[in-house]
Amino acid sequence: MKISVVQKQIQALPADALIVNLFEGATMPAGTTGAVDSALGATDGIPGDGMVSRLIKLGDFKGKLNEVAVLYTNGMIPAPRVILVGLGNKDQLTADRVRQVSGASMRKARDLGCKRVASVVHGSGLGGLDVRIAAQATVEGALLGAYQFREYKTSPGNGKHIDEFTLVEFNPARMQAVRNGAHDGEIIANSTNSARTLINRAPNHLTPAAFADVAREMSIASGLTVAILEEDGIAQFKMGGLLAVSQGSANRPRFVILDSAPESKTAPLVFIGKGVTFDTGGISLKDPSGMESMKADMGGAAAVFGALQAIGQLRLPQRVIGLLPLVENMPSDLAFRPGDVITMMSGMTVEIISTDAEGRMILADALHYAKRFEPRAVVDLATLTGACVVALGDGMAAGVFSNDDAFAAQLMKCAHNCGERLWQLPLYPEYGDKIKSDVADLKNSAGRTSGVGTSAYFLKRFVETEHGRDAFPWAHIDMAPMMFNTDNKGYQPRGAMGYGARTLVELARASGLGV
């Protein structure tokens, strides 16, 4: 979709649809919406006598959040349609609500068959939001809300899509802020959509090797450097966790290192994403009901991929390194087994209790590998436990564990700014007691009733140095509740959410980490 910014009165713009807005409870349209109303049939130019006003007076439009109405202009202005979207309560307006209304209205325009759409900058007038933030949120919402995954469709069907989206601002003094916000919003939304596409892609197409190839292509396009370890290189680093999980699959593992500023001497942020391109559970086989969703078990790696794509294109000064351990977890005569003891890259040994607790095994090696960068802080993201879905609710929020409360607070603030819910869970030392093994240093599972906390504590052990101190501020995000969206709502269409990518970008953009 082509994004542009113009200085003009929106009612004079030729497009297939114009998008304007209204707050809940408004009795008369104001600002740009009022100007459009006046152009749509007002008698003798009398304010409050146009098509929008009549809709309000009839009680057919309340302005509730994401409420949408379509007005047909009958040649009174160049655009044949005006889409009116509700902003909800004025006192509750946020940048994320702007994303929602932009996404909902764009999806309506797409479903109507519109190719060229123009919109106001939602929330920057009477809403009082910063112009640049509002412009970024409007563009993000538009691109995220209009996203469709159609790679495998063999016929066009109802594959309607919008070709051009124009952001319209009348005040010349605000144009640079609008352009800057639109620029950032386009990059961040497209990068999130890249993550969504990876998650939606079929697992026979997105193997570890295929994922690594896509990462190589993206790094070239986004100005990153990339290194890809194949099985021999992984073995040289003695990454026992990666090797164990992957040994049952014909699709061999990869370990991808993305770097936004390799020449920088500053301590980097390191983002690590769980990349299990398909998870059967291995020998500890999952229930086959719903197993097709396990193509999304690489959602953490997809989020890191999307974040690094955006960070590279935004040319952020903060050095960021992305680590993607990529494997497929399959049952076969070569697969690792319950009862096996694995020596990890750190030298610690792990007794395998469940081969379906595989994500922590590959993340543990990546966490130890991250120590070589002497990072400023590390975040790992993983669709790690069903227990987190039970704890927080499907589609409600991801859980975060951290060894540093200040860093966790900064991360949650970044998530809040992006509208990506994140809830801190405790990292009690007693969780460590539950993963003690009689035959090894650790066991990889403490059973169903201790799933979410013990999995995080398992990872913490690989953040520690040989002296038992934490090597860096660290946060673990269990994003299992945030894999797929089941309904079209706001800027989240059905399918993969792409959760986490925007939070990571926001963290990289932040001026200080508070650590």
Say how far apart CA 299 and CA 194 lie, in whole Å.
11
Per-residue tokens: 141:
């919402």
DSSP codes, 307-368: HHHHHHHHT-SS-EEEEEEEEEE--STTS--TT-EEE-TTS-EEE-S-TT--HHHHHHHHHH
Secondary structure, 3-state, 195-253:
HHHHHHCCCCCCCHHHHHHHHHHHHHHHCCEEEEECHHHHHHCCCHHHHHHHCCCCCCC
Question: What is the C-alpha to C-alpha distance for residues 489 and 119, in angstroms, rounded to an integer?
Answer: 19
For residue 436, indicate whether it is catalytic: no
| Greatest extent of the chain over all pairs of C-alpha atoms, in Å | 88
- Whether 99 and 148 have beta carbons less than 8 Å apart is answered as no
Given the residues 90, 286, 413, 421, the one annotated as active site: 286
Residue of 110, 132, 254, 360 marked active site? 360
Cβ atoms of 96 and 1 within 8 Å: the answer is no
Instruction: Tell me whether residue 360 is one of the annotated catalytic residues.
Output: yes
Helix, strand, coil proportions of the chain in percent (round to 5)? 40, 20, 40
DSSP 365-430: HHHHHHGGG--SEEEEEE---HHHHHHH-TTT-EEEEES-HHHHHHHHHHHHHHT--EEE----TH
Please state the three-class secondary structure of 425-493 as a single string: CCCCCHHHHCCCCCCCCEECCCCHHHHHHHHHHHHHCCCECCCCCECCCEEEEECHHHCEECCCECCEC
Q: What residues are annotated to the active site?
A: 286, 360
